[in-house]
Structure 1
Amino acid sequence: MGNAPSSPKPGTEFQVIGAGLSRTGTASFSEALRVLLDAPVYHGGTQTLLGPEVEIRSMIKILERFPIRSEEDRKVVFPLLKQRFDGYAAATDAPTSGLVEELMELYPNAKVICTVRNADAWVKSIGGLSTTSTMWFLRVILFPVPSMRYFADFVQVLSKQFVYLYGESVPVSTKTYDRHIEWLKRVVPEDKLIFFDVTEGWEPLCKALGKPVPKDIPFPRINDSKTTERFAKEMIRKGLVRWAFMCGVAGLAIIALLRHL
């Protein structure tokens, strides 16, 4: 995930659907797009977990209707997608990576760029995130924390998206990674699909977008793994502190009540 959520800029043209799975350099990719397109970029993990509560609640509603099976589903999903992504030049990370077909319909002129990495390294990286995400007590601990109280629900519907698209939930294997690439090649027109490894830096990305290589600006290198780990620890700490405060207040209230009995 990135460092901070971004805000939409009205009138911004949506140009890139980031189709890379989480932990494929999506945070670095998002920042690179922000520089090249000179406009805000919607990084799913950051916006959902650090943005206003409406972000995560909207994504849960969208994924509850995934895949779209009826006109009623469409009437719910597409307005929510527009609400979340209008005003951004691009969207990356989960759940965007699994909503490529819907976003191509909504933004037909956008390119689809999938960030890639070694499949075995991806499984190792995403595995640690999956273990943390599915700890049963998170729902209780995070309840006092705005937005994060919905985290367990978000992980649950995101897992259902994975099962539908790749036949696997957490923990995932290289099958999920390989099936994601196969799925993209099947649903995205060949002339719109681009694969990009963030370790290659500016040149291939600039070529794909028809942009000059930025002068004196190094390609962003954001360690998504360490950022996510720090964030998880901070949210758990915040939840525990708020529970302690609430329990303390409740305890004082009970003592005061007993004194009046």
Structure 2
Amino acid sequence: MKVIVAGFSKTGTKTMQVALASLGYPMYNFLEHFWYHHKDWEEILVRGGSIETFRRMYKDVDAVGDIPAFAFWEEIHEAFPDSKIILLTRDENSWYRSVLQQFEENNEWNMFKLSRNFTPTGRKFTTHFVKCLTACFGIIIPSAWRAVTVNETLAKKNFRQHNFYVTQKAPKHKLLIFKLQDGWKPLCEFLGVEVPNVKFPHKNVGGSAIKEAAEDNPVMKKMIKEMKILVSFVAIIFAGLLAYGFAQ
């Protein structure tokens, strides 16, 4: 483990994942945490995780961030004391609007809504996501079908307290406080690498991360594949019943 991205979700974690990968640090975000370490995180979210557990989970991973890892940045750093810490930050009003937009985008994509409720992978994903939101954001989802309700005051308070805690507790010589508009230079200087000759990335524009992930992430691809199989199966059953009805 070389880099821990301790910033709250919706501070640019997807962009940072792409940026760090460009610099040679493949990073686990929420979907990777779920795909590779679902059972471990289920245990951690309910009962807590030991330093040995985090060391086993991420010994071959260069960087981690996003939910739920950002909430456990301190424990992960204890497991990997040589790692550097990046605190992604942004204006809290902008951050809050981005949180709401992400939930709206997720809820408006019907294929995702159906997949997360009617497929085996989707139901497991949704259960895990709810636990992560509860543990890391303090957000409660009444059911998979109902829209997420976010308390603005408490959400901003959690966001503010988390950022303050990181700035106070992280070793100063290992900490970079970073905004996406800062670009390559401070990030590369902090990591001790050359600035790449490419434009700094900008991902998850308008809460599009889920749709983008559907193209290449194994979790989303599996959910959609299972949903298509389910739809085909239902269509065959319906056609058979329809044909049987006409035959009578």
What is aligned with 1:95? Answer: 68
Segments of 5+ residues of structure 2 without an aligned counterpart are: 141-148
Structure-2 residue corresponding to 1:111: 84
**Secondary structure of residue in 2 paired with 1:225:** coil
1:21 corresponds to 2:21: no
Match of 2:144 in 1: none
What amino acid is the match of 2:98? S
8 A Cα contact 1:19 1:100, kept in partner: yes
Q: Report how many residues are paired.
A: 227
What are the superposed Cα offsets for residues 55-96 of structure 1, whole Å, 9 maximum, x if unpaired?
A: 44443333222xx3xxxx53xx843x3454222211121111
Q: Which residue of 2 aligns with 1:47?
A: 32
Q: Name which of 155, 162, 168 aligns with 1:180.
A: 162
Distance 1:55 1:46 in 2: 10
Shift of residue 104, structure 1, vs aligned partner: 1.0
Pairing 1:220–2:201 present: yes
Rounded Cα–Cα distance in structure 2 between residues aligned with 1:257 and 1:109: 68
CA offset at residue 198 of structure 1?
Answer: 1.3
TM-score between both structures, scaled by the size of structure 2: 0.74
Question: What is the rounded CA distance, in whole Å, between the counterparts of 1:232 and 1:129 in structure 2?
Answer: 14
1:205 to partner: Cα distance: 0.7
Q: Distance in 2 between matches of 1:39 and 1:110?
A: 12
Corresponding residue number in structure 1 for 2:181: 199
Match of 1:155 in 2: 129
| 1:189 is aligned to 2:171 | yes
For residue 250 of structure 1, report the CA deviation from its aligned partner.
Answer: 4.1
Residue 217 and residue 232 in structure 1: after superposition, are their counterparts in 2 closer, same or farther (change >3 A)? closer
SS in 2 for 1:142: helix
Pick one of 233, 240, 248 that aligns with 2:235. 248
Cα distance in 2 for residues equivalent to 1:226 and 1:127: 9
1:109-144 Cα distance to aligned partner (Å, 9 max, x none): 111111111110110011132456689x98874255
AA in 1 matched with 2:80: Y
- State the SS of the aligned residue for 2:206: helix
* Equivalence for 2:46: 64
Matched to 1:152, the amino acid is T
1:152 and 1:253 mapped to 2: Cα distance? 32
Note closer, same or farther for the CA distance 1:224–1:238 as it changes in structure 2 (3 Å cut). Answer: farther
TM value normalised by structure 1: 0.71
Indicate if the aligned counterparts of 1:41 and 1:89 stay in contact, CA closer than 8 A.
yes
User: RMSD value over aligned CA atoms?
Assistant: 3.5
Task: Report what 1:127 is aligned to.
Answer: 100
